[in-house]
Structure 1
Amino acid sequence: MTSVLFVCLGNICRSPMAEAVMRHQLEQEGLADQVQVDSAGTGNWHVGHPPHRGTRDILKREGISDEGIQARQIKGEDLSAFDFVIVMDNSNFDDVSRLAKGKADNIHRFVDFIPDTPYREVPDPYFTGNFDETYSLVEAGCRGIVQAIKERETG
């Protein structure tokens, strides 16, 4: 089974949005039982909280469930437990790389899965307030990740 962990700062906006969108897309592709999806934050401020209201609202609008998603902080063992650790921005990349002590080649930038994007990071709607922009990037990136998983599985 392939496993994917999405990581952002507080685990209430971008990474839980990606977790929910990814699960939804995997269901649509008939791959839900073949891929484990989770999310975490580099910080611990929101541990145990549901996704941000802006994330919940946009997921509801798109008909995507956020059921069971709760903020948690990334742990060192996550780096070996997940095939893909996908970070939302450069600060997350640096934090997760430090946690890995340079020994993880499974850390990826989310935007690397979005073809032809000018974005170098997924903007944090907690600060920008633009959940639509974030959703658009998350939707496109998750499609790229699903494709990467399909290619990995077929060799």
Structure 2
Amino acid sequence: MINNTISDFMNSLDDFSDLQDSNCDCRRKKCKPKCFKICECDCEDKCEDKCERQRHVHEFLGSTRLATYVGGVHNHRFAGVTSQAIPYGNSHVHKISVNTDYFSDHFHGICVVTGPAIDVGGGKHVHLVQGFTTVSECHKHSFIFTTLIENPIQ
């Protein structure tokens, strides 16, 4: 079930390829209906909607699964903060881009999009993340983790 959901989601990522600086239309001095980040235009009258607010982020940390290469069996650690929330269906997702720690003369990149929000009660949620690192030293690692709860002290 999870693999199908993630597969469907990954196939829809092309919808998010134009999320860069196209959120504002300065000629009409208003934001486009689906804003995914803070407006960056020089409009005198900026919108007072989603464009003006930063959406939430999540912290994450984890370790890759073990892999074998010339230097032996090993894994890597990583940590960071996700992108702001990106609306997706009735939920939202986040982008993650981070490098692992440096071990035995190499590191790996991790560049994925989380799954949709998973409710954990109390109005809080996490996101499932799974995938593979980039290849380095002729090997890659798999990983699976969840993000931390957004703003856990509120």
- Same fold? TM cut 0.5: no
More helix by share: 1
**Which structure's CA Rg is the greater one?**
2
Q: TM-score range by the shorter chain?
A: under 0.3
User: TM-score, length-normalised on structure 2?
Assistant: 0.21
